[in-house]
Amino acid sequence: MRNDTLSRIGTAVGLILILVWCLLPVAWIISLSFKSQEAVTNGSPGFFPSSGGGAGWQNYVDVVKDDQFRQAIFNSIGICLIATLLSVVIATLTAYAVARLEFKGKKFVLTTALVIAMFPVVSLVGPLFDMWRTLGIYDTWIGLIIPYMSFTLPLAIWTLSAFFREIPWEMEQAAQVDGATAWQAFRRVIVPLAAPGVFTAAILTFFFAWNDFVFGISLTSTERARPIPAALSFFVGDDPFNRPASLLAAGAVVATVPIVLLVLFFQRKIVAGLTAGAVKG
């Protein structure tokens, strides 16, 4: 019995540690975003805004009013949504083939996906930079959508094929015996069953694209296509020697909001997707 209480206390302490680990830096950046810009320039150490050093919502107002920032958010949302949509459609086809069909070259597909997942992205930046300039898609949405799609495909393919594999074979066959054509079986049985998987893959793909930094800074040169992480890193304000920390923090919070919302709503699906196939294929 004593052992039991001990382990319960241990678990509770661990729980608190995990929460502190995950949330403290988030709380910090939120707190920072409420420090006034003067306070930051003059130095304002400490976790919370010092008395008189608070800025209220001013930093957020400034960020949202900033054209560069608004454009970057718009770019990010647009590019990531398009890349996600296309990537998931292509990955669904591939994952269905990988999970359900026997064909020569299946190994090749899986190996390619694995290699790409491990690929050092930066080593592509040079040649892509060169190629994109030649093709005239440097510093455009499409110039980012293409690499985002390619690099999110492996994750989407794994997640989806794990889902497809869980749909029993018999389900399709039963539909056929019940009088369905191949298309009806796919449409009325497989699609509704795979929908949660497709959705999960979409969320993970969106995460990945939203998170990208390397392509974002290398394949763009103006605010025309620059996504939010790259924009944040270039966001130096009036004084290039003293970064406007609190303003940046406010921008960072705004850029993080979509991700946090996704996490809040779809926590269960994301965990399932991340770990699907990670333990046992």
Partner 1 sequence: MAAIEMKNIVKKYGDGYPAVNDVSIDVADGEFVILVGPSGCGKSTLLRMIVGLEDITSGDMLIDGERVNDLAPRDRNLSMVFQNYALYPHLTVYENIAFPLRLAKLDSKEIDEKVREASRTLDLDEHLDRKPANLSGGQRQRVAMGRAIVRDAKAFLFDEPLSNLDAKLRGQMRTEISRLQKRLGITTVYVTHDQTEAMTLGDRVAVMKKGVLQQLASPRELYEQPANLFVAGFIGSPPMNFLPATVEGDQITLPFGTFPLPADKAERTAGKGLLMAGIRPEHFEDAAVQADVDEARTFDAHIDVREWLGDQQYAYVPYDAEPEVQDQLRELAREADSDSLRTQLVVSLDSASQVREDDEAKLSIDTDKIHIFDPSTGENLTVGL
Partner 2 sequence: MTTTAETATKPRREARTSDKSRAENRLAIKLVAPAIALMLLVTAFPMLRALYLSMFDYTLTAPDDRTFVGFQNYLTALSDQLFWRDTANTVFIMVVTVFFELVIGFAFAMVMHKLIFARGLVRTSILIPYGIITVVSGFAWQFAFSNTNGFVNSWIPFMNPDFNWFGDYWSAMAAIMVSEIWKTTPFMALLLLAGLAQVPEDMLEAAKVDGATWWQRLWRVILPNMRAAIMVAVLFRALDAYRIFDNIFVMTNGAQGTESISFLTYRQVIEQFQLGIGSALSVLLFLSVLVVAFGIVKLFRVDLSAARQG
Does residue 160 contact residue 276 with C-beta atoms inside 8 Å? Answer: no
The amino acid occupying position 30 is: I
User: Binding string, 76-115, against partner 1, x = CB under 8 A?
Assistant: ----------------------------------------
d(CA 147, CA 215): 8
Of 191-250, binders to partner 1 (CB under 8 A) are: 192-193
Q: Which member of 55, 146, 185, 202 binds partner 2 (CB under 8 A)? A: 146
Q: How many CB atoms lie within 10 A of CB 57?
A: 11
Of 176-195, binders to partner 2 (CB under 8 A) are: none
Of 99-138, binders to partner 2 (CB under 8 A) are: 99, 101-106, 108-110, 112-131
Alpha-helical regions (H) of the chain: 2-33, 37-42, 58-65, 67-100, 106-117, 122-135, 141-166, 169-177, 182-185, 191-211, 214-218, 228-234, 245-275
Q: Which member of 174, 257, 261, 271 binds partner 1 (CB under 8 A)? A: 174
- If binding is defined by CB under 8 A, does position 83 make contact with partner 2? no
Of 261, 250, 230, the C-alpha closest to 65 is 250
Q: Kindly tell me which of 170 and 239 has the beta carbon lying closer to partner 1.
A: 170
DSSP reduced 3-state for 35: strand
User: Binding string, 40-79, against partner 2, x = CB under 8 A?
Assistant: x--xxxxx--------------------------------
Residues found near partner 1 in the complex (CB under 8 A): 168, 170-171, 173-181, 184, 188-189, 192-193
